[in-house]
Chain A
Amino acid sequence: MNLKIADFFVGAFSGALVAGVVSYISPPFMPMLLGGLIGMLLVIPLKIAFMPLFGAFEVMIPLGIIGMTVGMGAGMLSFTDVASNIIIASGSLTGLIVATIIHFSNKRYTAQ
């Protein structure tokens, strides 16, 4: 797989996975805070699994952002009546957006 495309796949997949797990656990109190914490912990094994395939920093940076932001969002949404598949889809979309932002950030840095 082209590694540039893989970055977007990793972002979308990780976002969906974090959102799915947080939505399944559905933190009973302080949902945003606990969701963010669960997300941050969850991406650690994901990083270790993806690094040998897609490169250490190219995985570490997006997943570091996705874990907390998607976890917080999913925690908050799971406290409402939103269906879990919608939460997973929004997690995946957030992951994709983070990957896109980092892609353009990288373009800017490497052009310097």
Chain B
Amino acid sequence: MNKQSYDGTARYFDYFAGGDMRRWSPSQRTLFKNLKGKVLYIGIGTGQEIVNFPVGLNITAADLSFEMLKRSNQRVENYSGNINRCQMDAEVTGFADNTFDTIVTVCVLCTVKQPMNCLQELKRVLKPDGQLVMFEHVLSKNPVYAVILKMMSLITEYLQGTYLDRNTVANVERAGFKIHSHKNIYLDIVKALVAKPITGA
């Protein structure tokens, strides 16, 4: 999906994600307790998850779509902390090496064109002792659920640019991270993950 398509998606993004936010907010609040130091929030979208962040963080938020960033205004203003936003591609950010203590992604690795490129870029800008905090959905290992996800992926790719058939956990490990915490939120599809870069990998 390109920048223009994401701009188009922004109009109905909040509506379609409403159910997910009602379901996932408690789990996200628990996961986001891990956020500390200088935080990069990649793929802010319309900023739905901001309400689940702990207060007082220093966050740099990036998104590919200007329309999405525009729609996050109110939520950013309401946050009791510091959020600086910028328009950027998650696969090629403009940040220097080893900039952030924590990087947080929420349903980003299911959307970017090349998840491996994105993960390698995140590893580059993350400090060696930093952590990658992810709230992502992946392809189920259960064959029944996997078939349903693969079929639905054809529709969601068209409607929202979201792929439901990605093996994000394996991708994270292949990109040179070690998974430190792995929790299933819904079946084995929606997951809360915390990973740390393997030094030298």
**CB within 8 Å of B: which residues of A?**
3, 44, 47, 50-61, 64-65, 102, 105-106, 109-110, 112
Contact = CB atoms under 8 A, between A and B. Distances in A.
B51 interface: no
B16 A57 contact: no
Contacts of A61: 145, 148-149, 187, 189
Contacts, number: 63
Given A44-B155, A54-B19, A55-B22, A60 B148 contact: yes
Given A44-B155, A110-B186, A58 B19 contact: yes
B144 A56 contact: no
Contact of A53 (B19, B155, B184): B19
Contact of A58 (B142, B144, B184, B186): B186
Nearest to A67: B148
B187 A105 contact: yes
B22 A57 contact: no
> What is the interface of chain B mostly: helix, strand, loop, or mixed?
helix
Contacts of A54: 19, 23
Contact of A64 (B15, B148, B190): B148
A109 B22 contact: no
B77 interface: no
A97 B144 CA distance: 16
Contact of A3 (B23, B137, B144): B23
Contact of A57 (B147, B151, B183, B187): B187
B18 A53 contact: yes
Nearest to A112: B184
Given A60-B152, A61-B145, A55 B184 contact: no
Given A57-B190, A60-B148, A64-B152, A110 B19 contact: no
Nearest to B162: A56
A64 B23 contact: no
